[in-house]
A and B are shown apart, each in its own frame.
Chain A
Amino acid sequence: MRILLIEDNEELAGTIVDRLRVEGHCVDRESDGNEANDLLRHSLFDIILLDVNLPGKSGYEILRSLRARGDATPVLILTARSQIDERVVGLDAGADDYMVKPFDFRELLARCRVLARRRSGTASNIFVAGGLSFDRAAKRAIVAGKDVDLRAREVQLLEILIDNLGRMLTKEEVADKLYSFDESPSMNAVEQIVTRLRRKLHDTPLVIKTARGLGYMAYVADDE
């Protein structure tokens, strides 16, 4: 993956870059907000790791102009401020995830993998995770080389889950996305569709986690 790290602290930046390179990623690093902003105008990356406090432009400003240009590259915010309010600002500004310093490198890598998965699942038509391969255009899922028989709602649900990998969706959110405005969704129906899809994807690394009272979250087990 091609990753851009925007971080002004030399020590921290050095360790992150080293760690990511060890994992086999291609890492660029910027320490100045303005320069990073200019770079993002011309170059494409798979993931951006963005510090908030930067010389020149702040992380939020960079993020805002990135999204304003219509660039959907996943952004993971790195911040030393623990107050939730500011995190929300970051997410509202269009960030995909955030981590508070100091963070565990393993957790950082895990989050990056989730973002990359989500990005590839959305950007390309083919989503691959272990033995599972899902073709959005053809609405076909193949597990271990065999076609899986998916109903229309199940295909829709799979798309929704892939678009929101690693993110908790409430049952109501799922229902709203599954059903059009004039259909009246029943929560039981949603539960049944989830159960059926989970059974059909049982042997794949794509896990649909249910948290009762909260909702559903899909993640790829191999990644962790």
Chain B
Amino acid sequence: MALGFMALLLIISLLLWNYARGAANRTYDLLLAGAALAVLERVSPGPNGPSIDLPSSAMEILALAPDDRVVYRVFSPDTGVITGTTDLPVPSDMALQATPVFFDAPYGDPFRFVLQGRQMNSPDGRLWVAVQIGQTLEARHAQQLSLFLNGMTGLAGISLIGLGFVWLAIRRALSPLRQIEADLSARSPGDLTPVEEASPSEISGLFDAINGFIVRLDRNLKLTEGFIADVAHQIRTSLSALQGHLSLAVDSKDPKKMHARLVRAELQAERTVRLTNQLLANAMVIHRSDRATLKPIALKPVVRDTVAEMLRDSRMRKIIVTFDADQVADGEDIVIADALSIREALRNLIDNAIRHGPPDNTIDITLGIEDDALALKVEDAGPGIPEADRARATERFTSMRQDTAGSGLGLAIVQAVVDGHHAKLRFGTARKGGLSVMIAFPRAIGRAATSLFIIIALALGLVVPDGAVAQTITIFSATDTPAMAPVIAEFEARNPSVTIVYEEYQTVALHKAMLAGAAPDVVISSAMNLQVDLVNRGIARRLDMPEAEALPEWSTWRSELFGFTFEPAVIIYNSELFTPEYLPKEHRELANFIRDNAITLEGRIGIYDLRGSGIGYLFATQDAEQGMQSQRITEILGQSGVRTFCCTSDMVAATASGEISLAINVIGSYAMSLAAQDPRVGVHFLSDYNLVMARSAFIPKIAPNPAAAELFVRFLISEDGQHVVATQSQLIPILEVAEIESWAFSQLRAQKGSFLPIRLGPGLLTYLDNLKKSNFLEGWDASVRRSR
């Protein structure tokens, strides 16, 4: 107990210590972040690269931790340190990001750093500028200790008070129990009045149980008292008669009369013996039905053995006995019963037939199945019981005939056995004229056999749990069927028990279908924003797949949505019209390029129709995030009579045929695969940035076959699956698949530094806001359709 409490205390201390460190870090990280923002804000491009006018506010923010030392530097990866301490440590694997990154590193003393970058336009193009600020840990440590001690003090106080309350509550709650204890121990054994006490509701059930028990005990006692009184009466009467005959015999002077008396005395003794035996049997049967002695037994052998045993009695020499159990197969005769009680019942039924029937009586014993019951029937050719008397035949001490020395207990014993087995007792007239008694036992075989069958079937592997049975999974996908076909074929080859049904959708239609409640097993789409929107609604299943750890961080979200391709947005052009050198190098040159070639490009530039294409909208909004130039480009495109397309393939075909000269923000995977086959189509990357999107997959929570679906998604992002994507489909895998040489891959490697992946996450929800979206599209319409 004490040990357990110590362990608990230790755990709480550890948790609290960690919590305090986290809280202290969060507090002081805000200072670092605030300072970093303030610094970055003051970075500006200058004629000789970026420069900085260090703001005093930054230092003032840091001074809120008065005892800590501060180091800083502002630098650009391209041009080197602009100002500050030059040799601040940075973990080697850390990339520059636009969000603040916090880390601990030693710089003489232990320091905590923030590193935050920012991209900016300069005359030489876009470049990264970063600020790194470090602070010693004194204030943090002080804060951590203080939080910890305060927490522990509070905890200790509350624990002590709590213990006090618990002690009081237990005492108070148990006080009625002490009263019962006093009440029960003071009682005489005969006092069976209910316990009366105002009890709290928590233990009123206990009071009800105790009182219920007392009531049952009382009832039982009264029954027993009644039985004992009956027994005493019966035995005394019987013994008195015996005594009377014997004393008359002793007093008799006439040997003949004396003999007659003795004969009657012997008969009376016989009756008394039988009465006693029956009373004991009755008590035994009732006692055994009270105790839980019932267990599954086969009835047939019990009946056969009992009858065979009774046949040894010389009274049965002339009696014809038959036993018919042909209707019941071995194993079908299982009942939940007490064999001893059943023997006693059967013995009494046969004994009745012997006693009340003629010396050459016929006793037919049948075991059969009637409905859901096992029916044990004993019929004879004796006088039977008139129908009117049958109802009271089972009452104790009711003998139907005085001349046959019946004790009046035989059928009462049978009735007690029947009651103890939840069986039914039925009287009728036998085929041979005598009494027919049927006991119908509820059968145990139905239930037992069924469960046994299941166990055997499981053991034999007939019923196979979920997994290895043939399954069909349905994929709803906004990806061209030919692009996915090789991956699906390979998956099916590796998992012969799984069949895939692939249904192709447009991105927007797929989104609508899912919102309408469709239940496929896997959902795949290139529209990252729409996928994020679906997952953000909580309809996706969480998947813990080891393969997901290899994926880049930007391409997974919540362990529910997984990107599996790497698809840059590219410019394609008709190579008969342009040479690559002539094309613009950066986004900001694109507008000028179009204006400069206004005449040749009039009506000959292609873009996605943003209203119909999810992927087009995604690329356009992400471009807008990158700066003002995208708005300008859109306007100039509008002036040049830009043409809109629904899909990549149309744009590529139009470019190849020369119908258009240029297409912007085309999905690179398709474009590159088509360009590889058609020399008239060129693929162009810009050098400042190229957006990259990932085709992503998730499994809905309501998927009918989630296990098989997970197998498929795991395959998609596994090295093997990615290899199939790389080699057999026109898509580009998200993992870098080694040892593959192709034109497309060498192009991608050459552009490696310029890729700007779109991050799967709530950031994509901004442009899905209805108002924001309609504003954006109206602006786009206004620009693009101005020419018409």
Contacts and interface: CB of A to CB of B under 8 A. Distances in A.
Contacts of B313: 107
B304 interface: yes
Interface in B545-565: none
A213 B323 contact: yes
A215 B322 CA distance: 9
Contacts of B277: 82
B492 interface: no
A19 to B, nearest CB: 13
A182 B162 CA distance: 84
Nearest to B276: A102
A167 B307 contact: no
Contacts of A84: 339-340, 343
A104 interface: yes
A85 B323 contact: no
B311 A168 contact: yes
B317 A214 contact: no
Interface string B248-283: 000000000000000000000010010001001100
A104 B281 CA distance: 18
A214 B308 contact: yes
Contacts of B323: 211-214
A167 B308 CA distance: 8
Nearest to B363: A211
B321 A211 contact: yes
B314 A107 contact: yes
Contacts of B749: none
B280 A82 contact: yes
Interface string B320-340: 111111100000000000011
A224 B312 CA distance: 12
B311 A217 contact: yes
A107 to B, nearest CB: 6
Interface string B613-633: 000000000000000000000
Contacts of A107: 313-315
A103 to B, nearest CB: 9
Contacts of A219: 317
Contacts of A102: 273
B44 to A, nearest CB: 105
Size bin of chain B's contact surface: 20 to 34
B284 interface: yes
Contacts, number: 59
Contacts of B304: 170, 214
A213 to B, nearest CB: 3
A97 B313 CA distance: 11
Contact of B322 (A166, A207, A212): A212
Contacts of A167: 312
Interface in B281-297: 281, 284
Residue among B270, B280, B311, B315 having the largest count of chain A Cβ atoms under 10 Å:
B311
B312 A104 contact: no
A214 to B, nearest CB: 5
Nearest to B281: A82
Contacts of B281: 82
Interface in A67-123: 82-85, 97, 102, 104, 106-107, 110-111
Nearest to A217: B311
A177 interface: no
Nearest to A166: B312
A221 B317 CA distance: 9
B527 to A, nearest CB: 80
Nearest to B310: A168
B723 to A, nearest CB: 69
Contacts of B365: 213
B476 to A, nearest CB: 68
A209 interface: yes
A213 B324 contact: yes
B323 to A, nearest CB: 3
A18 B229 CA distance: 38
A212 B308 CA distance: 11
Contacts of A213: 322-326, 365
Given A84-B343, A104-B270, A224-B317, A215 B324 contact: no
A82 B284 contact: yes
A83 B314 contact: no
Contacts of B311: 168, 209, 211, 214, 217
A97 B340 contact: no
B618 to A, nearest CB: 84
B322 A224 contact: no
Contacts of B322: 211-214
25 contacts: A84-B340, A102-B273, A106-B314, A107-B313, A110-B314, A167-B312, A168-B308, A168-B309, A168-B311, A168-B312, A170-B304, A211-B307, A211-B320, A211-B321, A212-B321, A212-B324, A213-B323, A213-B324, A214-B311, A214-B322, A215-B308, A217-B311, A221-B317, A224-B314, A224-B317
Given A84-B343, A104-B270, A107-B314, 8 more contacts: A82-B281, A83-B284, A168-B312, A211-B311, A212-B321, A214-B307, A214-B322, A224-B317
Interface of A: 82-85, 97, 102, 104, 106-107, 110-111, 166-168, 170, 207, 209, 211-215, 217, 219, 221, 224
Q: List 3 tightest A-B contacts by C-beta distance, closest first.
A: A213-B323, A168-B308, A212-B322
